[in-house]
Amino acid sequence: MLEWYWAGLLMIGLMLLLMFVGMPAGLAMGLTSALMILAFLSPNNLLVLANIAFERGTDNQFIVAPLFIFMAALVAYSGVAEEAYVAAARWLNRLPGSLALASTAGCAAFAAVSGSSVATALTVGVFAIPQMIKAGYDRRLAVGSVATAGTLGILIPPSISMVIFGIITETSIGQLFIAGIVPGLLLALALMGYIVVVTRLHPGLAPPAGAFTWRERFESLLPVWGIAALFALVMGSMYLGIATPAEASAIGASGAFVLMALKRKLTWRRFTNSLVRATETTAMVTLLLLGGFTLSYVAAAMGIAHGLSQAIAGSNLSPLAVILAYNLLLVVLGTALETSTIIVITMPLLFPAFVKLGFDPLWLGVLTTINSEIGTISPPSGLVLFAIKGIAPKDFTTRDLFMGVLPFNVVLALFLLFMIAFPQLSTWLPGHMK
């Protein structure tokens, strides 16, 4: 058998080659695992892959992803994102850059019931970007603020990326969700703080907004009750120990259905579209997870995970140096790969070493998610970037897009370093769960 490091390089190289030629990530991982077994292990191990796929695919924990995805699909058709944006715009109108601030607040609110960065950015951006441009906002600021705030969709729970992290590493999904609340809110405030500073220094970027009465402000809060109620229902039930993550996901999907009906947005076409969208996303996530499970098995069977863990532990590198190197790796991978794919590729190999070094899994989950956010708005392959490009003005160039998100990427990078320095911000709230 190959030495673990040659086996690891061969496995990663083959998997990346398959993805480079266009094979879906989940299939690339599964095929790589099968080829590694046929080449270096017994063909009988292929039966183990089938058993792993069946056992993990029928685990009760697996239902969390499709139900939260369905909840997000229903909420997307209920109009809550636009209502949150309108409310934020009225309450923040006295601050510089109020519409950009409202976009960030709207994304944060929708993220609380979405779980997807692309969905959050598109749902808010489709009406927020035209509003800002019409008001005379600098177009780079308008598009950049929405693209960056959209990344909150995978940090503020429920987050599909955190579900995948929890399943792959066998970390409590409920605790991961709660761990993302404080960092998510702090990041939203950091982004809003940057907008206030830059628009105060350069008032031409964001003309003053119109005035609103207190009555108009309070009236704008009435339609937003649905987001608050659904978030409190899902997160509160897990935090208080009333429901497991699987039960909370069912509560969330049911609550989203009721919310859609109460808002009189429930039609047969919207309902079936929600089902189709949720089914497509679930199929992608399921294939990705099953590929990750097979990759994890091969990495363990060939000694790759153990060898890498021993090498890192015996390298005499400080824990800080290890975590910084890990985050640098994620930045590089994030420019080319999607968030969930990065998690599924890296965690089977690196998580055992991180556990041996004493890193808290919840902290790791939050850092991985924040770093993945940077990747989603980084060239050349940031998913959120190219999703936003589709709803930006037609003459808005790719260069404009990159320049618009660049300063926000700096804010994200500084916030990531802040979270590395203060891990308790990720672990304090989950520590008080019942």
Residues 26-64 have pLDDT tens digits of 889 889 999 999 988 888 888 888 888 888 777 777 788
**Distance of alpha carbon 143 from alpha carbon 131, whole angstroms:** 11
The pLDDT score that the predictor gives to residue 90 is 92
pLDDT at 71 > cutoff 70: yes
Which segment of 52-66, 176-190, 209-223 scores lowest on mean pLDDT?
Answer: 52-66
The pLDDT value recorded for residue 376 is 80
pTM: 0.87
Do residues 274 and 70 touch, judged by C-beta distance below 8 A?
yes
Res 391: pLDDT? 86
> Given a cut of 90, is residue 140 above it in pLDDT?
yes
Tokens at 137, concatenated: 């906002």
Cβ atoms 384, 343 nearer than 8 A: no
Tokens representing residue 144 in the block:
């950049």
Asked if residue 117 has pLDDT above 70, the reply is yes
Quick one: pLDDT band at residue 265, thresholds 50, 70, 90? Answer: confident
**Which pLDDT does position 1 carry in this prediction?**
61
Asked if residue 362 has pLDDT above 90, the reply is yes
Q: In the structure, what pLDDT confidence band is assigned to residue 291 with cuts at 50, 70 and 90?
A: confident
Q: What does the alpha-carbon distance between residue 155 and residue 419 come to, in Å, rounded to a whole number?
A: 13
In the structure, what pLDDT confidence band is assigned to residue 133 with cuts at 50, 70 and 90?
Answer: very high
H-assigned helices in 222-318: 225-239, 245-262, 268-301, 304-313
- CA distance readout (Å), 119 to 57, 111, 219, 366: 25, 9, 27, 20
Mean pLDDT, the chain, whole residue set: 88
For the segment 93-109, the average pLDDT, to the nearest whole number, is 92
Decide if pLDDT at 320 tops 80.
yes
- At 368, which helix (H) or strand (E)? helix 361-376
pLDDT tier, 381 (very low <50, low <70, confident <90, very high otherwise): low
